[in-house]
Amino acid sequence: MAAALSAWWRGARHLNHRGYQYIWANVFWAVLSLPVITAPAAFAGLCRFSYVAARQPAPGLDEFWAGFRENLKRGIIAGLLTIVIVTVNGTNLLAYRHSDAQGMAALRFVWGFALVLWFGLQFYAWPLMQHMERPSLKGAYRNALVMMALNPMFTLVCWFLIAIVIVLSLVFPVAWLLLTGSVLAVAATSAVADRVAAAGFSTGFSMLPEALEKGG
């Protein structure tokens, strides 16, 4: 639990340090997510920008566009899968929400958990692309599943914090345009880097600017 909270805190400090860049990147993400099918690629762009911004002193927003273009094909595939998974599971949940048939409660849990698991995979998968020598959607999802299995409590805390961000964004809708995507991308980038380092792999990665690291 502490590790997840620490990773999110490092991400929040980094976001605060480069706030205006993340606001612009979030605007791009929000616009590109409107067609839905391109939303995963837009999130990949945010993750690429946050990854580079944590490693370089003066990143440009061209990193967002580079991440978007590189992952556009993968993102469209993920977007189509998302539409299918949400449609199937969401329809089942709505159609059988009042059913008292035997075993229906268990099925509703499975359908609901499938949705949570799918979106949880996106949280890990796109930042993981930055750590892969040969990025692939299949490999990223596989690695994301492994990361979830090896870090269940860490993942549950992340899911809880994601829920808080989404609820706050629903209360303050302007956040979707200005911050929500960037907050989630920075948190995902920081969380993945933390788990990769915890697994014993050297990433040369820090979510804190050099000046902040020296100042504690």
Rg (C-alpha) for the chain, rounded Å, is 17
pLDDT string in tens for the chain (216-residue length): 789 999 999 988 888 888 889 999 999 999 999 998 999 999 999 999 999 988 877 778 899 999 999 999 999 999 999 999 999 999 998 888 878 877 888 899 999 999 999 999 999 999 999 888 888 999 999 999 999 999 999 999 999 999 999 999 999 999 999 999 999 999 999 999 999 888 877 655 555 443 333 332
Question: What crossing angle do the helices spanning 39-53 and 104-128 adopt, rounded to 10°?
Answer: 50
Q: What is the pLDDT of residue 201?
A: 72
Domain ranges of the chain: 2-215
pLDDT at residue number 216? 29
The backbone torsions φ and ψ at residue 175, rounded to the nearest 5 degrees and listed phi first, read: -60, -30
| CA terminus-to-terminus distance, the chain | 22
Q: What is the pLDDT of residue 17?
A: 81
* 3-state secondary structure (DSSP) of residue 135: coil
* Distance of alpha carbon 78 from alpha carbon 44, whole angstroms: 11
Instruction: Give the Cα separation of 155 and 205 in Å (integer).
Output: 20
CA distances from 190 to 6, 36, 208 (A): 9, 25, 10
